[in-house]
Amino acid sequence: MKRNRKESKRRRETIQVWTYDQARQAVPYVTSIMQSLREHQLDTQRQQQVATRLAQQPGRPSRADLIAHADAIQEGQRAENRFHDALEELHGLDVYCLDPLQGLALIPFAKGDQLAWFVFDLYADDKLGAWRFHRDPLETRRPIAEALAGPSDSASMVI
């Protein structure tokens, strides 16, 4: 019996790790993408809500209602496609969206020999004011001063 090679190998992915200065320089660009992600997500939800309300109206729908319902579904799909395009752009930077509505993203960096993340917060005064280790719970936020103490010299990490 042959083994399935894909199941036996662990998936490894190499990601770019950032320095704090690189992350600081990228903040305006990441801000722009995160704002777009949030708007596209809200637009998707808005169109889905319109489509749901139109579909749940009592009685037989009129021609105008059917057209409005189809338009809402189509607009929702377009907004979702724009969301995924912006998400791919963010992932191309090896920056990962944690919550588009709250404006949270994670930017990888190396803390010693461990993977860690700068926590980007769209609505904070200091958008890179916190960080966490990869193995920390998602809600963990450490002061950025701790991350800046000590070396972080790797250019990429395998996870």
User: What tens digit of pLDDT does each residue of 90-128 get?
Assistant: 999 999 999 999 999 999 999 888 899 999 999 999 999
pLDDT of residue 92: 93
Residue with tokens 């950032």: 18
pLDDT at position 6 over 80? no
Supply the mean pLDDT for the chain.
87
The pTM for the full model equals: 0.81
149: confidence class by pLDDT, cuts 50, 70, 90: confident
Give the rounded distance of the alpha carbon of 84 from its chain centre: 10
Strand pairing report for 142-143 and 130-133 = antiparallel
Closest CA to 40 of 97, 92, 94, 95: 97
Q: Tell me the backbone φ, ψ of residue 99, rounded to 5 degrees.
A: -150, 110
**What ranges do the domains of the chain cover?**
14-158
**Paired tokens of 36:** 């777009």
